[in-house]
Amino acid sequence: MTSKTNRREFLTGTTLGAAALVSLSSTLAAPNKASAATQEPFASVPTKNIEVNGQTIAYRETGPSDGFPLVMLHHFTGVIDDWDPAIIDGLASTYRVIVFDNVGVGGSTGQVPGTIDQMATDAIAFIQALGLNKVHLFGFSMGGFVAQAVAFENPDLIEKLILTGTGTSGLGDHMNGLVPQLQDSFARAAKENKHPKHFLFFTETAESQSAGDGFLGRLNTRTKDDRVPVITEQGMGAHVTAILTWAAVDDARTAQIQHPTFIANGDNDVMIPTKNSFRLHELLPNSELSIYPDSGHGGIFQYNELFVEQALEFLADSAS
C-alpha cells in the first residue's frame, strides 16, 4: 500500500500486508476518571426520545459530557440495540457517545427514506436538534455511506470521521448481490443453528466464529424491557434501494472530504469487500487505515479492544 506524507498507517494484519498484529507506539489520552467511574453501561442506558421535524427519534447516550460528542451511524437494517456494548462502553470511557435510530428505523417514527443523502439530511437534523454544532462521526457499513454524505452536505458539523466496514460510492455490481447474500446467510443460519451475522460479519475460521458468539452474546446483555422494534419490511426495502443507488454513483466526490478519518475493516469482508477500505484510504487525503487479520465485515467487533484503543488514540491526536 502506498505511503502518504503526514499520515500514519496502521496495518494490524492483512492478507495484503503484515500477518501479525502491531501494537501502537503512541500513548493514549488518559480517560476522564471521574466520568469513567460514573459511566452507565450501554446495556442499561435508557432510551430517550426527541422530536425532530415532526418525527420522534429514539436515541441513547453515555459517557462524559465534555469535548466533542461521538455520534454513531449504523449498518443496513441496524437499530440501536445492535451496537456492540464493548465498543460503546470503550469509547464512552472518554467521549459522550450518542447512538440513534434514524427516521423510520427501530424506535423512531416516519418512513425510511430510499437515499443515503436523505438519511444524511435526517442525521444532521437530529444532531442539530440536540443542540450540537460540532461532533465526531462514526459510520459502520451503510452508516459509513451516510457519514460521508453528511460530510458532503455539512462539512462544518464534523470534527473527525471514523469509517468502518464501508466504502466509497461507486461500489458497482458487488452490491447487486446484497439480497441473495442475505438470503443465503439466513438459510445457512437456520441449517447450522447460528445467527446470520456469523456469516455476514465473521469469517469461517473457528476463531472468528467464536468471536461472533462473543459479539452476539454481548448484544443479548441489553435490558430486556427497553429494546426497540426491529426494522420493518418498508425500512429494509428502502435501505436496499439506498445502498444500490449509492453504489451506482461514481466516487468522484469522496476526495472532497478533508476531515481526519480513521478507516478500519477486516481482511475478508464479504459484504463490502475489503478492497473498498483501501480505496477510501487512497481517496481521503487525511486518512489512516487499520485492517484486522482473519476477520470480516465485523472486524471491529472481533477486535473490539484493539479497535477502541486505536479509535481513542486517533480521536485524541491533535496532529491527525
DSSP string, 254-289: GGG--S-EEEEEETT-SSS-THHHHHHHHH-TTEEE
The C-alpha atoms of residue 75 and residue 214 are separated, in whole angstroms, by 19
State which H helix or E strand residue 291 sits in: strand 287-292
Match 472530504 to its residue by C-alpha cell: 257
Query: What pTM value is reported for the model?
Result: 0.89
Number of C-beta neighbours around residue 251 at 10 A = 17
For residue 11, pLDDT over 80 is answered with no
Given a contact cutoff of 8 angstroms between Cβ atoms, the answer to whether 264 and 297 are in contact is no
Q: What are phi and psi of 93, to 5 degrees?
A: -65, -20
Comparing 129 with 318, the larger pLDDT belongs to 129
Q: How confident is the model at residue 35 (pLDDT cuts 50, 70, 90)?
A: very low
Residue 316 has pLDDT above 50, yes or no: yes
- Residue listed under C-alpha cell 418525527: 55
Report d(CA 283, CA 290) in Å as an integer. 15
Summarised one tens digit per residue, pLDDT across range 45-72 is: 999 999 999 999 999 999 998 889 999 9
Mean model confidence pLDDT for the chain: 88
Judge contact between 75 and 143, C-beta under 8 A.
yes
- Assess contact for 138 and 71: CB atoms under 8 A: yes
Alpha helices in the chain (DSSP H): 33-38, 85-92, 116-129, 142-153, 178-192, 196-200, 206-219, 233-248, 275-283, 299-302, 304-316
Residue 205 CB-half CA count within 13 A: 10
| Better-scored residue on pLDDT, 225 or 155 | 155
C-alpha cell of residue 310: 486505536
| Domains of the chain as residue ranges with CATH | 33-316 (3.40.50.1820)
User: What is the side-by-side strand order in the sheet with 261-266?
Assistant: 48-52, 55-62, 97-100, 70-73, 135-140, 158-164, 261-266, 287-292
Which set of grid coordinates corresponds to residue 204? 469461517
Q: In the structure, what pLDDT confidence band is assigned to residue 4 with cuts at 50, 70 and 90?
A: very low
pLDDT above 50: residue 171: yes
The answer to whether the CB of 133 falls within 8 A of the CB of 159 is no
Give, in degrees to the nearest 5, the angle at Cα 17 between 16 and 21.
125
Task: Judge residue 243's burial from the number of C-beta atoms within 10 Å of its C-beta, 0-12 exposed, 13-18 middle, 19 or more buried.
Answer: buried
Rounded distance between C-alpha atoms, residue 233 and residue 229, angstroms: 12
pLDDT-derived band at 133 (thresholds 50, 70, 90) equals: very high
User: Angle of helix 206-219 relative to helix 85-92, nearest 10 degrees?
Assistant: 70
Nearest-angstrom CA–CA distance, 216 and 177? 25
In the three-class reduction of DSSP (H, G, I as helix; E, B as strand; rest coil), residue 12 is classed as: coil
Question: Are the beta carbons of 159 and 135 closer than 8 angstroms?
Answer: yes
Measured in whole angstroms, the distance separating CA 179 from the mean position of its chain's CA atoms is 20
